[in-house]
Amino acid sequence: MIIIVSILIFLMLVSAIIAAVLKDLLSAVIALCVVSLIAAVLFYLLQAPDVAMAEAAIGAALVTAIFVIAIRKTKRFEE
């Protein structure tokens, strides 16, 4: 169990770093979405189903959508 959790956390941190590094903002937002999704899984493993649901519905779905809308209205690449 702890091995799976460690791998998940490692993946989460890696995608956070990817979100920090990428110049393409749209891909960075997708990486952010992955961070949120893994965080939702971790919340579920920590016995917090309410929070997991909220994080999946708000953090992963709606926040990503708002980011994508904002990027469409501005610029896709970081200069």
Partner 1 sequence: MNFLNNYIYYIGAFGLVFIGLYILLVKKNLIKVIIGLSILDTGVFLFLIAVGYINKGTAPIFSKTGLNPKNMVDPVPQALVLTSIVIGVAILALALTLAIKLYKHYGTLNLRKIKEQRW
Partner 2 sequence: MRKIISAILLIIIAGGITLSLMKIPFGIPKTKVGEYYINKGREETGATNIVTSVVLNYRGFDTLGEITILFIAALGVGAILSLGRKRTDKKEKIEPTSSIVYTGCRFLFPILLLVGSYIFIHGHLTPGGGFQGGAIIASAFLLIYLSCPGKRVNEKYSKITESLAGLIFIVLGLIGLAIGQEFLFNFLPKGTLGTLLSAGIIPIIYIAIGLKVGSELTGIIDNLIEKS
Q: Which residues bind partner 1 (CB under 8 A)?
A: 2, 5-6, 9, 12-13, 16-17, 19-20, 25, 28-29, 32, 35-36, 39, 42-43, 46-51, 54-55, 58-59, 62-63, 66-67, 69-71, 73-75, 78-79
Question: To 5 degrees, how large is the angle CA 54–CA 57–CA 60?
Answer: 105
Residue 36's closest CA among 49, 24, 22, 52?
A: 52
Query: Least CB distance from residue 10 to partner 1, whole Å?
Result: 8
Measure CA 23 to chain center.
17
Binding partner of residue 7 among partner 2, partner 1, none, CB cut-off 5 to 8 Å per kind: none
